[in-house]
Structure 1
């Protein structure tokens, strides 16, 4: 299994025109090839969101997402990520270049379209049957 980790500075946008910078841990694992984890532990303990790699890639080029997660480009230099839960919506902005570099690095580990070759289907089936 290969792992990739990076820290990307993200701006948490608030409704009162203030914002707060957050250092967010981004991680990717070859055995979970469709997922990118965003770890907000520096801001809120145990706060980790798992996003689709394909959603993040699509969101670099145009609005993408439905449900709890939406991603869209903003001003050519940023990507906006909206995360919703029962407590509300967090709107975050990150450097589009930083996100694109991270996603390009994930593509070197598991090229898009080949994710299925990296999944341990026996383990997944066993986990499904145990649950």
Structure 2
């Protein structure tokens, strides 16, 4: 298996009664070992975020992130993920256990520190030269 996928329900926090649950597809590919993809396209066209796996692993235990993505443990059972985009900041609450199980599966597939062995350097160079 070269890919880990799951669907996790995330709560979009708006601070009012418009908060709602979103079923978000999470995916991890061994060929892109540093990134976890969150696919929100069923709610907004083109809404796919690539988050650092290391950032997610760190965010399980302590506030982490800089720039457009921040992750903070919240109430022992959830994580808060803040995603800053052109339209503002989306604050999402997600069950920490579901994220931990997903990340554990990615670690079994590609252990931390072994990511370099899974990167297709030739393809990456071809993509870079084609751009």
TM-score (norm 1): 0.96
Q: In the TM superposition, what is the alpha-carbon distance from 1:75 to its structure 2 partner?
A: 0.6
Whole-angstrom distance in 2 between the partners of 1:101 and 1:129: 37
Structure 2 unmatched ranges of 5 or more: none
Q: Does 1:108 align with 2:108?
A: yes
Shift of 1:45: 2.2
Q: Is the CA contact (8 Å cut-off) linking 1:22 and 1:42 kept in structure 2?
A: no
Q: CA RMSD in A?
A: 1.2
Q: How does 1:22-101 map to 2 (within 5 A)?
A: 22-101=22-101
Distance 2:17 2:54 in 1: 30
SS in 2 for 1:124: helix
Runs of 4+ in 1 over 3 A off after TM superposition: none
Gaps of 5+ in 1: none
Contact 1:13 1:20 in 2 (8 A): yes
Displacement of 1:17 in angstroms is: 5.6
> Per-residue deviation at 1:129?
1.7
Length, aligned pairs only: 131
Name the CA distance, whole Å, in 1 between partners of 2:18 and 2:72.
20
Alpha-carbon distance, 1:77 to partner = 0.3
The superposition leaves residues 47-103 of structure 1 with CA deviations (integer Å, 9 ceiling, x where unpaired) of: 110000000001111111111000110011001100001110000000000000000
TM-score for the superposition, normalised by structure 2 = 0.96
